Amino acid sequence: MKYAFYLGCTIPARSRNYELSARKVAEKLDIELVDVEGFVCCGFPMNASDLKAAGVMGAYNLALAERKNLDICVLCSSCASQLTEVAHDLSDDGPEREEVNKELARTGLKYSGGVRVKHFAHILLEEVGEEKIKEYFVRDLSDLRIAAHYGCHYLKPSEIYDDFDHVEDPKSIETLVALTGAKIVDYHGKKRCCGGPVLPVVEDVALAVAKEKLDDISKTDANAMCLVCPFCSVMYDDNQKGIESEYDTTYNLPVLYLTQVLGLAMGFDRKELGLNINVVKTKKLLAQYFEQ
Amino acid sequence: MGKINLDRADPDFRRELAKQPGGDKISACFTCRTCTASCPIAAVNDTFDPVKIIRMALYGLKEDVLKSDFIWLCSSCYTCQERCPQGVRITEFMTLLKNLAVKEGNMPTGIRAQQDLIKGEGRIYPIDDFDNKKRDKVGLPPIPTSCSVVKKLFPSE
């Protein structure tokens, strides 16, 4: 299993904990992740202002991977939907691809429609498989009670994702987390958006959306949240303190990446999984796993 | 918005939208309000109402829509589009409206900043030497600090 490792913008700058833990889990499971130096933004944040330019950015990244004869592994859900959608639109040799290739010609690259894009979680379930993942677990996480957050672009638009998971009743993240022995906590509003894309427009609206989910989870007995997108994590982890002070409330809810949960079960230590980088402290929650 | 003033309506707006991806199916909307009921933004902000935006566009209220602040509140979560019983591609329609609004000079500063960073630096969070030092400290490989390819991709910017 070998993939071009597409990090996007947010992960290398703001979510080194996600990148660290994903690299560890991939190495353990024998998924080879190849760093491609020329990757640029996927284009997703520019859809709202210049859809055509956003598509060209996406196609440029696909063309880079194609030149290396590799499919793409993505960690960020927005990058996953953007690159998957562009790959979907450009899979046929039609006028749309011809037009994009005219733009790419200035860079000396051409896209021929041959790249598949997969979110890391899709690779885990579809290519590695639940049984093989479990073989590498050395810690039992049954004291964790986890509320999963799927976010939007990990699942939608559903037509580009080939029935990987169900939009109205998603299971994939919980299936993977449950392998570790952790208890899955269902909650009202599980499918709600994090509000992230509105953050650069009107911050208080974005934070109000994120707050709804934190409120819903705090009504359950969950002691951590688990997610698969760095922008969702910005909303719930980086901005949790800000929401607490804005609304005069307290959540103190650790927000873990799926790869941190799996890596924990695989026996990696705190720093190897970047758990010390998480904004809401995880030390107390995970103390039992790291005692000498 | 109070009463609708149809004197301001542009009957061509609907036809203009119908020619573009995202705008081609909006006339199928039968105002069931599944979009608004499902919308995570409408749940916290009453100035955002997807079904109203679709109606305004169909009535031809071009200026009221394209000069509005509310179109920018759509988080593009796709919940409305996935649930629309009439197959209206609502999220794509909202993206189309935002793109048209930009051409009319309506663009929030945060969105402009993101676009300038992407077309200028290739990333919304450009990487500097300090970032790479932090990456190196935890054993992550360096990321290039400059990106000249965007100058070739967007030569007129």
Whose CA is closest to A260, among A292, A282, A288?
A: A282
Give me the mean pLDDT over the B99-120 stretch.
97
Distance CA A124, CA A132 (A): 9
Please count the structural domains in chain A: 2
- Considering only CB atoms, B40 lies closest to which of A51, A195, A199, namely A195
Say if CB A206 and CB B74 are below 8 A apart: no
- Residue A292: pLDDT band with limits 50, 70, 90: low
How close B127 comes to chain A (CA, Å)? 7
Contact criterion met (CB < 8 Å) for B123 and A41: yes
Which one of A202, A215, A236 makes the best mutation probe of the B interface by having the most chain B beta carbons within 10 Å? A202
- Considering only CB atoms, A56 lies closest to which of B78, B138, B153, namely B153
Residues B90 and B148 in one domain: no
Whose CA is closest to B13, among B52, B50, B54?
A: B54
- Considering only CB atoms, A20 lies closest to which of B118, B124, B138, namely B138
Give me the mean pLDDT over the B136-141 stretch.
95
What ipTM is given for this predicted complex? 0.95
As a whole number, the mean pLDDT across chain A is 97
Say if CB A91 and CB A81 are below 8 A apart: no
Give me the mean pLDDT over the A213-235 stretch.
98
Q: Does residue A51 sit within a domain? A: yes
Q: Does residue B128 sit within a domain? A: yes
DSSP A37-54: TT----SGGGTTT-HHHH
pLDDT at B3 > cutoff 80: no
Local structure of residue A108 (DSSP, 8 states): T
Chain A residues with CB under 8 Å of B79 CB are: 152, 156, 191, 193
Contact criterion met (CB < 8 Å) for A57 and B153: yes
Structural domain that includes position B148: 122-153
Q: Does residue A129 sit within a domain? A: no
pLDDT reported for residue B1: 52
Distances in Å between the alpha carbon of B20 and those of A220, A263, B57? 45, 46, 13
Quote the tokens at residue A116: 């598949």
* CATH code, domain carrying A82: 1.20.1050.140
Residues B127 and B64 in one domain: no
pLDDT at B2 > cutoff 80: no
pLDDT reported for residue A157: 96
pLDDT reported for residue B91: 98
Q: Which long-range contacts (CB under 8 A, 24 or more apart) does B13-20 make?
A: B13/B57, B13/B60, B13/B61, B13/B62, B14/B57, B14/B58, B14/B60, B17/B57, B17/B93, B17/B96, B20/B96
Give me the mean pLDDT over the A185-209 stretch.
97
Say if CB A206 and CB A198 are below 8 A apart: yes
pLDDT at A26 > cutoff 90: yes
Chain B residues with CB under 8 Å of A192 CB are: 40
pLDDT reported for residue B17: 97
H or E stretch at A58? helix A51-67
pLDDT reported for residue A95: 96
- The answer to whether A27 contacts chain B (CB < 8 Å) is no
Q: Bigger pLDDT: B8 or A291?
A: B8
Give me the mean pLDDT over the B146-157 stretch.
90
Contact criterion met (CB < 8 Å) for B99 and A48: yes
Count of CB atoms situated within 10 Å of the CB of A163:
7
Q: Does residue A256 sit within a domain? A: yes
- The residue in chain B having the minimum alpha-carbon distance to the alpha carbon of residue A51 is B99
Q: Does residue B1 sit within a domain? A: no
Residues A203 and A269 in one domain: yes
Say if CB A66 and CB A111 are below 8 A apart: yes
Structural domain that includes position A34: 2-120
Beta bridge partners of A225: A147, A255
* CATH code, domain carrying B76: 1.10.1060.10
Please count the structural domains in chain B: 2
* CATH code, domain carrying A255: 3.40.50.11810
| Residue pairs between chains A and B whose CB atoms are closer than 8 Å | 153
pLDDT, tens digit (0-9, with 9 covering 90-100), for A257-268 = 999 999 999 999
pLDDT, tens digit (0-9, with 9 covering 90-100), for B38-87 = 999 999 999 999 999 999 999 999 999 999 999 999 999 999 999 999 99
